[in-house]
Structure 1
Amino acid sequence: MNLYDVHRRHCAVPAFEKAPLFKNRVLNRAIILKHKLRGNELEMFDSHVGSATKVLLPIDAADLRAGAHFFFVGQKDFEAVTEEAFGADLRPGARDRNVLDQIDQLPSLDPFLLREYLRRSGIEPAREYFNISDADVLNMQKFVQMDIQALSTLSGGDQPGMPSGRLVDKLLSPRPEVDFGPLREVLRLEDKQFLDGIFAWRGFLYYKWVLSDVMPRVDQTIKSMVSVTPRGVRDAESAAYIPLARARIVAAVRERIRAVQATLSTYDRAFHALTDDGKPGTFRDFLIESPHLFMSLGQRLGALQHIVSFWSYRFPRSKPVAVGYVDLMDILMDFEDGIALEGLEDDAPMMQRAVG
């Protein structure tokens, strides 16, 4: 999330100036990203974490080659570092600290989910921060409409046969606790459970849409990665590493996809239990467990998106792939680090509870 670029492009828009993401002007020009920690960065944290939210403060925002200061959310000296840089603006309880904490809790900076997550906490920055095109919004609405069409009669209460388009509007509305009142009564959920579950439900639908979009590009990326022949000087280390790494990455990507599909199928089974089998308890169990499943789902899809987006950026399809042995080894090492399969089995107990 390049906030400086967002500011540069939209600073003249009155609505944008009135609804900043961060009140602190320096922080509102930062670059924020989800970062896979390297070996030397792990020691910056008291506990073991695989990835963290990284905040970059460019020395010269107009020329990023000049470098940047940075900090990780949750690093050992986080309070001291942010106190020095931002004073009271990032102290616990401050408005900007709340926004940063909300961003840190999400598995990715997907604009759909970030906007909905912040809105759920009463934080509504200008739309320009989220860079969601009208085409993306329309495509997601169409996908969701098809996916939840079967739920119309139940969630509509005394409005059987409600058009699925209206149901989509209800699901994606900022007040689901009002719009889905009949469903909440059927499921007998407390306020927080219901709101957390509805948000995760939105997340599952969003990630189903993301998976349908990313899958064709995964296949293209894997095919290109496997077939590329490095150029230049061939050193023994990279020549030995590259073929083995490619095989490991392909296997890991396939396993990651299977894990994502297995998690998404948990939603499908719970949804069909509600709509086809008349078992609201199964969908209730899913909504209770879904926030935890949603976070791991986002991490796994994020790793796939990283591989696809970086490869397509580094090697556009319109140009032949040209890369040296050492550069290719570095790229594959980064992919291996991000696609690591540790913890893939951890969701099994939650998935079992989610479908009874």
Structure 2
Amino acid sequence: MTDRTIRSLANLRGSASTARVLNLSRVHREHGDTDAWRDQPMFRNPMLNRSMIVKHRLRRDEIDRFRFRRYVATKIILPIDAGDLRAGGRYLFVGEAGFETTMTQAFGLQPDHPDIQTLRIMDGLPGLDPFLLREQLRRNGVTPAPCYFNLSEADLGAMIAFVAEEISPLVDLSLGPDWDLTADNPVARLTDKILSSSAGEDLSALGLTLRLAPEEYEEGVFCWKGFLYYKWVLRGAVGEIGDVMEAVRVTKPRGRPTNQQYVTLARSRETIRRRIIDTCDTTANMLRVYDDAFRGLTQEGRPTAFRDFLRDAPHLFAKLGERLGAIQHIVSFWKYRTAPGKPVPTPDELLDMLADFEVSLTGRDDAPTGSFSLAA
């Protein structure tokens, strides 16, 4: 196991639930003695319920583990020693060749076991954002306790307020701009419906109006919810992205880099700056697709624009989640690694971080063309 492998696994200990990492080992340490953790587990299997689930950008030598070409996979990591992550761990990818056989051999789980279904639900999401993960699991009848999701009441309140502001034109379209704000607030009612786990059913009249099949409409509404969530996340992260870009540009490593390291650092800094800008532009363009479609429905008398958006939403949602997840990962990991009190990274460590950021920001067009393995 290389030093890079040790650092990358040990650093996961610092987070519980993010866009990229679901750290069930930490959830167990902090909540394992509670009734909620025991009575409403994420996974029924004890080993899985103390694992780490990571959205992982596949490397060149990992792509052949899958029958179908993909660029991001869901990695299950079992730490060898949960108390000392520097000891490393074993891992496998959800959906890799021989996945079901390995799950039976390693965990005793048959292909129809509920835990396998939960893993496949996670694998179908572009990221592990706590809100979207919770909602997608609920849609499929899986209701883990709140301790498994790193969601504060303040964040939920802010997001609900944002969604209410965003969808108010739909209320105006239905009731007219002069509707009376009473205790029975129509914006609040519609917001609750959109954010509920039964949103597709609650808004079925809209699906009939748009002439979408029930399953097509239900999936589109979930992705609509995802677009609203990602739009809220991006609005709050714009300032942090700029701060991190500047910090990556100016941070000097601890110790003197070699000439080769100096050249590589300069190249990596510029590559990351350019890719962050490109990723943010692409993300903004995808969100603009939603904005244009919603405006067509609510202001321009073009409901077919929103119908087309809902049909395309699952594909757009996956791409949007991958790109925004990469940005969130860079921001959160940089802040974690350079927090006050932590040592300034050495040249090797800084190069390591920047190399990871470059891989995270690799787009589909730039991306490289089985059993448990040592965690990497």
Q: When the two structures are superposed, what TM-score results if normalisation uses the length of structure 2?
A: 0.85
Task: Give the structure 1 partner of residue 364 of structure 2.
Answer: 342
Q: 1:259 deviation in Å?
A: 0.3
Which of 254-263 and 332-341 deviates more?
Answer: 332-341
Partner amino acid, structure 2, of 1:335: F
Is 2:287 the partner of 1:260? no
Distance of 2:275 and 2:219 partners within structure 1: 31
Task: Give the structure 1 partner of residue 369 of structure 2.
Answer: none
Task: Give the structure 2 partner of residue 54 of structure 1.
Answer: 75
Structure of higher RCO (CA pairs closer than 8 Å, 6+ residues apart): 2
Q: 1:282 deviation in Å?
A: 1.1
Conservation of the 8 A alpha-carbon contact between 2:55 and 2:72 = yes
Which of 199-208 and 181-190 deviates more?
Answer: 181-190
Conservation of the 8 A alpha-carbon contact between 2:132 and 2:226 = yes
Is 2:272 the partner of 1:249? yes
Conservation of the 8 A alpha-carbon contact between 1:155 and 1:182 = no
What pairs up with 1:289-304 in 2 under 5 angstroms?
Answer: 289-304=312-327
Unaligned 5+ segments in structure 1 are 345-356
Cα distance change of structure 1 residues 10 and 324 upon mapping to structure 2, 3 Å threshold:
closer
Which of 147-156 and 278-287 deviates more?
Answer: 147-156
Conservation of the 8 A alpha-carbon contact between 1:228 and 1:321 = no
Aligned-pair Cα RMSD in Å: 2.1
Conservation of the 8 A alpha-carbon contact between 1:154 and 1:160 = no
Cα distance change of structure 1 residues 236 and 77 upon mapping to structure 2, 3 Å threshold:
farther
**Aligned residue among 187, 209, 229 for 1:206:** 229
Is 2:164 the partner of 1:142? no
Distance of 1:193 and 1:127 partners within structure 2: 29
Q: 1:136 deviation in Å?
A: 0.9
CA offsets 1:202-231 (integer angstroms, 9 cap, x no match): 000000011011111110001111112234
Conservation of the 8 A alpha-carbon contact between 1:155 and 1:183 = no
Conservation of the 8 A alpha-carbon contact between 1:156 and 1:182 = no
Unaligned 5+ segments in structure 2 are 1-21, 367-376
Q: 4+ residue stretches of structure 1 with deviation over 6 A?
A: none
Task: Give the structure 2 partner of residue 352 of structure 1.
Answer: none
Distance of 2:280 and 2:187 partners within structure 1: 29
Task: Give the structure 1 partner of residue 86 of structure 2.
Answer: 65
CA offsets 1:224-260 (integer angstroms, 9 cap, x no match): 1111223423223212111122111111110100100
Q: When the two structures are superposed, what TM-score results if normalisation uses the length of structure 1?
A: 0.89
Conservation of the 8 A alpha-carbon contact between 2:80 and 2:90 = yes
What pairs up with 1:279-294 in 2 under 5 angstroms?
Answer: 279-294=302-317
**Aligned residue among 95, 105, 112 for 1:93:** 112
Task: Name the SS for the 1:230 alignment partner.
Answer: coil
Is 2:180 the partner of 1:174? no
Distance of 1:42 and 1:14 partners within structure 2: 41
Task: Name the SS for the 2:55 alignment partner.
Answer: strand
Q: 1:155 deviation in Å?
A: 5.5
